[in-house]
Structure 1
Amino acid sequence: MRQFLAEKCSQVLSILHAGRWLGPLVVRVVFGYFWLETGIAKVHNLAGFTQRFMGWGIPFPAFSAALSAWTELLGGLLLMLGLFTRLVTIPMIINMIVAVTLVVSSNLMGLDDYVEADEVVYTLIFCWFLMAGPGKISLDTLVARWLGIRTRD
């Protein structure tokens, strides 16, 4: 019985290992689409977004709002494509740090509130992409192969 369970577990793990490319792909495409969509909405209503920045007391509100909106739009698109994934996560992380620091933190009272804040979760996902990369099915991987750069995927 023990041998039978070991064999079945091994088979299941082999199947899961063969499909390990699917997780990063799905998360990258869905998460990227989320940011593309929010970026498009902010770019299309830049005046309203700028007003929110003014209300939050963010310096240079027109410039900052436009920079944030376009960062989300272009960052989301590049993330979906898996192109410049590690590079694009840096401005996205900065965007989230600014949001947490200047906007969200005034409503957070303790560690539980920070852990539950969407912006903190988004920052962690961006950090994961920064460290792990886009996964096997991405334009980054194709470009790396074309350039002869060996990847671990």
Structure 2
Amino acid sequence: MSNLSSLLVAVNLAMRQRDDARKALQAALAAQQAARAQLEQLNDYARETEARWGVRADADMKPEVMYHHIQFMGRLGHAAGLQTTVVGDHEGRVNMARQTLLQAELRLASLSKVVDKRRSDIELANARREQKQTDERASLRYRNSQQEH
């Protein structure tokens, strides 16, 4: 029975680890979604800025204004590139969190199977012991009844 209680402690620990892994995955997914939203905002802003610039492209522009616009768009493109890297990093974290969750679920499932098997073995041993006791009592009753006759 001590072995079974040790296994039950291990199952409870595995459940907590699985729950923690699930929470970590949810957090990683939320962070990834936030990073993607930020990247989308940067890309939308770049498109809007280019659209506004395109409307004014036929206007007479000073070289300084064009230079600043080109510089700004370059910086905006650089920021979008950095954010793309951040999104990729988050994707890696999500994949690692998924793998950790999968391993935790597999460990919990295998421990649960061991516990089920152990319980089945204990129940079988108890049933056999009870059957043996019943057989012994029946045998004693039979012998006693034979001796009385």
TM-score (norm 1): 0.35
Higher relative contact order (CA 8 A, sep 6+): 2
Query: Which has the larger share of helix?
Result: 2
TM-score (norm 2): 0.36
